[in-house]
Structure 1
Amino acid sequence: MDNYEKGVVEKEEGGGEGTAVERAFEWQMVPPLRDQLTARALAVSFVLSVMFSVIVMKLNLTTGIIPSLNLAAGLLGFFFVKLWTKALQHAGLLRTPFTRQENTVIQTSVIAASGLAFSGGFGNYLFGMSSKIANQTTEANDSQNIKDPNLGWMIGFMFVVSFLGLFSLVPLRKIMIIDYKLMYPSGTATAYLINTFHTPQGEKLAREQVGTLCKSVACSSLWGFFQWFYTAGEDCGFRAFPTFGLKAYENKFYFDFSATYVGVGMICPHIVNLSLLLGAILSWGIMWPLISNQKGHWYPADTGKDSLNGLQGYRVFTAVALILGDGLYNFLKILRRTTSSFISAVFKGLPISDDERAPKNLAISFDDERRTEVFVRDHIPPWVAYGCYVVIATLSIVTVPCIFPPLKWYHILVAHVFAPVFAFCNAYGCGLTDWNLASTYGKLAIFVFGAWAGADHGGVLAGLAACGLVMSVVATASDLMQNFRTGYLTLASPRSVFASQVIGAAMGCVIAPCVFWLFFKAFDDIGTPGSQYPAPNAIIYRNMAILGIDGSSSLPKHCLALCCVFFALAIAINFAKDVDGVFFGACQVDAFRL
């Protein structure tokens, strides 16, 4: 019986989902770091990074909506290197075979580089600083609130803010990936794709998986073309089908028939999908219709749909309050457990916690055992992450005020203190739902730091620059955890994943500004409404910054009170869940002892 057949037998006998995967690779040694971070991988990563950055920048400057590109990066990385190795093999010059770990390195570098085309703010906060966008507003368009794009300062700004997120959550990678078992659907799907392409045994299973993948891609593409063909404008056609009637359609209850969301829903656990459904019903079905009835009382009746001074303000800030409450609770829980473990290690003889006395799951699958072994073995020392974060943060505190004078050093210091907490909250939520809400945290920073700087001291520019600081840290931290999940499932060394993320970020710090500069110089009407590249989010972010300089008084009535209620509610729900878990865990321990 070969390894593939053994894996199938174990899977049929209840060995766990996906047990056959690592059985197929069992005879292969995990390649060392130098065979994962190869010159050809970095060369292909650079080419794909340029290609993907152009795609992301175009989307950023047109619709402002960026889809997940992890799968595409993994697929194209495999395609290009496979062509390379096949050519060398025919010539008899191939020395190192192409492995799934090397494929993971390529995917990680490409996503890190192209991600900066989004989190760099070229279609929102950074372009919103320009005079071209400022001239479209009637307020705060003086010189102290304007910073026109320039290739030099954009590259410098990218370098001092884009690496902080990479070091903020590295010490928590084991907790996020192994202990919490967060799915990171895009990272998981990419890992499955890479494993399928590189399966050395079980060709039958590999052919079936590739065949299913091709069929799914073809069906999704055809359906996307069908939707596009019957779409005449925004919220039209099958992208906004009034399944439940026109009244429900007015409150955003309709089917958009999105194949992307169907795929994410198939990967996410049922509890996550049910939570999203419950949240949609409570918010769009109850809260927003009730609040909209207060139009003219709680908020001005003439506000636009994207104005944070109206109904959109309730939506954004109550959502932020819920996410912060949930993430902060889990962050403090991890901090408490880490502190307890440290104290127990220092003072020997103290009783261990109930969690450590609980019976362990002895039925761990072969896949999980091998993946955990590799993931934990090639650890990254915490002191490296902490030290690098402090050094880069210090450099940022010194450098950023020279680029944006309204943003003072103490503003940046406070942003760097709280940014890791926001990064954890975002990475935790992204692991559950695959939604990267970095822009939401950036909007929060606009209000806080814009009001802190004040209208008379360049508060608009300060708010937009602070948005860049927070958004870069939060987005890159989430991308890193997504890639760690891919590396965990493909047995790529965490060190190689982290190194490729750093290399990709360094490439992106140059590639993304250069690509934006080409667009900026090639199209004179860029940023103009109705043009080919209107950059719709740029004017929205600038208007947010103008609104934010007035502080909490600019928010609609009772918005701050609702935020406090939902923040407390998120903490209370987590606490109740933990208390319930401890109760049932104690019952399991007693049963185990009996």
Structure 2
Amino acid sequence: MDNYEKGVAEQEEGGEGTAVERAFEWQRVPPLREQLTARALAVSFLLSVMFSVIVMKLNLTTGIIPSLNVAAGLLGFFFVKLWTKALQRAGLLRTPFTRQENTVIQASVTAASGLAFSGGFGSYLFGMSSVIAKQATKLNDSRNNIKDPNLGWMIGFMFVVSFLGLFTLVPLRKIMIIDYKLIYPSGTATAYLINSFHTPQGEKLAGEQVGTLCKSFAGSFLWGFFQWFYTAGKDCGFRAFPTFGLKAYENRFYFDFSATYVGVGMICPHIVNLSVFTAVALILGDGLYNFLKVLRRTTSSISAVLKGLPISDDERAPKNLAISFDDERRTEVFVRDRIPPWVAYGCYVVIATLSISTVPLIFPPLKWYHILVAHVFAPVAAFCNAYGFGLTDWSLVSTYGKLAIFVFGAWAGADHGGVLAGLAACGLMMIVVATASDLMQNFKTGYLTLASPRSMFASHVIGTAMGCVIAPCVFWLFYKAFDDIGISGSQYPAPNAPIYRDMAILGIDGFSSLPKHCLSLFYLFFALAIAINLAKDVSPNRIARFIPIPMAMAIPFYIGASFAIDMCIGSVILYVWTKMNKGKASAFGPAVASGLICGDGMWGVPQGVLALAQVNPPMCMKFVHGE
């Protein structure tokens, strides 16, 4: 029996794949102080500055930001490895570099650089400025609808809002990661990459898997580089290839040659891959249903404990008794370092109170009761987004922000700074939702690398604190260095900022500004999402496994079918491979998928550097209708 057949044998005993942790079985799990080290934080700071510059550049030019968590894990490994090698040669190395420390670096960097996006410096926050207001309608002449950037209030706003998201979903981490077994494809791929870097020598199968991952990584990276040459203009390149004809392309139905989402399709279950306001309704309905389901289970368990009763089978974690070696070891570490729920709830209340008292001083049109209501609903939105993110790797933070623009802009009203109130509420919602989802994804990475949940949480807190200063400072440098920033046709037009301001102007009229029947469709599909979930829960397993997941159904409605096509192709590749050779597909499928995601994600770094250096692609490949 060869290596991959052994892996399959272990999988069929009840696991989810080959036992990665067997390669690390002899290693002790380092304590918190050896995971959250000074060198890890130093490297995190340097990478956070670099990635924040890249994200800010993309914010102000294209408005499209790639996922950088894979690149953070890879570069973190590279820099600390150089550091430890030098110390080792000098005989000064005291603490070896571990995968847990690598994971901490990745988490801290993504937390810091994430604020460069969710902080709204290229969207809602800059949309408040007079520069953007001059390019919009006359309504913006009102001074209480304008707030120009200033380093002081931007840093203050980041600090009083950004930490809220960290405490929103912490009590649900076990449910999301262990009970629901959400995939978080990018987080899983990052963990796979980190594990492969630190795999001890002598494990033949592990070595073969690392080799496969490296080949897949290189192919994906080079494919991204090749595609770049043909993207000199709008709608150019392979990502705008009309695979099924121009008419289908106009309706966003095409294969966009994305290695990332082909890899995601290979990792995600088939039910996810096969599965406007219509989309928002499905997302909210599905998310709210699962939120209430989790809430019911939690209150039932607490009630049973208080009454001294045993917890019912329905409240216990997974019924599958065949647990793999990987699952058993990872779960043990994940649940051992508990973060008490009362700490999370208490901190959320304290920070929310601070936010309620200070944000109105920064944005007077946004009253304290607006912020109170936003803080009540933010955890629900955070759960919905984290749940969808875990299923499909697509974060819809901007969707929840736009919803907040309509609700709070209309509530404040046109005569009371409704535009500014809507944009500020958008920011509050986006930051809370984004930080909560990023933390949950990094919990998944930590779960797969045996990093302590406490070290992951602490690294996120530190990374968020760094981001609260780094992101505004990087934006301030751009703002002061370029006089024409935000002006259409300039080098840094900030294309999303006018869109957000125009939406805020529409939003002050409330839902009456929406198209006809929009709300009716919203109610219909919201109810449909709940009905589908109920049907899935009450149906026997043989039927339930064919009922689609509303969240996964909704996202292609919102972003186009190309995303779903990519994932389905990934599923087909894995299915055919499994039919041809189940052993090899089981052993090497995750490595190939992770390499595809990581290589494409890593290409975002040199792509951003080329953009910073103003090096443009030489060609545009574009398809148009014939005469």
Match of 1:140 in 2: 139
Does residue 1:523 correspond to 2:522, yes or no?
Answer: no
Match of 2:266 in 1: 266
- Give 1:355's match in structure 2, choosing from 295, 308, 314: 314
Counterpart AA for 2:488: P
The 2-side partners of 1:12 and 1:179 are apart by 19
Structure number with greater CO (CA < 8 Å, separation at least 6) is 2
SS in 2 for 1:140: helix
Match of 1:311 in 2: none
Distance verdict in 2 for CA 1:331–1:13, change over 3 Å: closer
Distance verdict in 2 for CA 1:123–1:180, change over 3 Å: same
Match of 1:195 in 2: 195
The 1-side partners of 2:309 and 2:530 are apart by 33
Match of 2:296 in 1: 336
- Give 1:551's match in structure 2, choosing from 498, 505, 510: 510
Distance verdict in 2 for CA 1:338–1:357, change over 3 Å: closer
Distance verdict in 2 for CA 1:525–1:269, change over 3 Å: same
Tell me by how many angstroms 1:512 deviates: 0.3
Of 13-22 and 51-60, more deviation after overlay is shown by 13-22
TM-score, with normalisation over the residues of structure 1? 0.88
Tell me by how many angstroms 1:573 deviates: 0.3
Counterpart AA for 1:26: E
Does residue 1:25 correspond to 2:38, yes or no?
Answer: no
Match of 2:439 in 1: 480
Per-residue CA shift, 1:383-441, capped at 9, x if unaligned?
A: 00000000000000000000000000000000000000000000000000001111110
The 2-side partners of 1:568 and 1:190 are apart by 36
The 1-side partners of 2:216 and 2:416 are apart by 54
Distance verdict in 2 for CA 1:140–1:88, change over 3 Å: same
The 2-side partners of 1:151 and 1:243 are apart by 47
Counterpart AA for 1:222: L
Counterpart AA for 2:29: V
Match of 2:158 in 1: 158
Distance verdict in 2 for CA 1:13–1:345, change over 3 Å: closer
SS in 1 for 2:139: coil
Please say if residues 7 and 21 of structure 1, whose CA atoms lie closer than 8 Å, have aligned partners that are also in contact: no
The 2-side partners of 1:450 and 1:183 are apart by 36
Match of 2:525 in 1: 566
Distance verdict in 2 for CA 1:357–1:127, change over 3 Å: closer
Counterpart AA for 2:287: G
Distance verdict in 2 for CA 1:559–1:255, change over 3 Å: same
Match of 2:281 in 1: 321
Please say if residues 113 and 505 of structure 1, whose CA atoms lie closer than 8 Å, have aligned partners that are also in contact: yes
The 2-side partners of 1:407 and 1:127 are apart by 17
Listed as ranges, the gaps of 5+ residues in structure 2 are 545-627
State how 1:294-443 maps to structure 2 within 5 Å: 315=276, 317-349=277-309, 353-355=312-314, 360-443=319-402
Match of 2:243 in 1: 243
Distance verdict in 2 for CA 1:420–1:92, change over 3 Å: same
- Give 1:506's match in structure 2, choosing from 459, 462, 465: 465
Tell me by how many angstroms 1:563 deviates: 0.5
The 2-side partners of 1:73 and 1:61 are apart by 22
The 2-side partners of 1:364 and 1:489 are apart by 15
Distance verdict in 2 for CA 1:358–1:5, change over 3 Å: closer
The 2-side partners of 1:326 and 1:390 are apart by 26
Please say if residues 10 and 324 of structure 2, whose CA atoms lie closer than 8 Å, have aligned partners that are also in contact: no
Per-residue CA shift, 1:48-77, capped at 9, x if unaligned?
A: 000111111111111111111111000000
Identity among equivalent positions (%) equals: 86
TM-score, with normalisation over the residues of structure 2? 0.83
The 1-side partners of 2:333 and 2:198 are apart by 18
Tell me by how many angstroms 1:228 deviates: 2.8
State how 1:47-126 maps to structure 2 within 5 Å: 47-126=46-125
SS in 1 for 2:64: coil
Of 93-102 and 198-207, more deviation after overlay is shown by 198-207
Please say if residues 442 and 467 of structure 1, whose CA atoms lie closer than 8 Å, have aligned partners that are also in contact: yes
The 1-side partners of 2:489 and 2:317 are apart by 62
Tell me by how many angstroms 1:339 deviates: 1.1
The 2-side partners of 1:63 and 1:212 are apart by 34
Per-residue CA shift, 1:276-306, capped at 9, x if unaligned?
A: xxxxxxxxxxxxxxxxxxxxxxxxxxxxxxx
The size of the alignment, in residue pairs, is 542
Distance verdict in 2 for CA 1:359–1:452, change over 3 Å: closer
Tell me by how many angstroms 1:127 deviates: 0.4
Per-residue CA shift, 1:333-356, capped at 9, x if unaligned?
A: 111111111111122357x54525
Listed as ranges, the gaps of 5+ residues in structure 1 are 276-314, 586-594
The 2-side partners of 1:387 and 1:373 are apart by 26
Does residue 1:461 correspond to 2:442, yes or no?
Answer: no
The 2-side partners of 1:493 and 1:230 are apart by 44
Counterpart AA for 1:192: Y
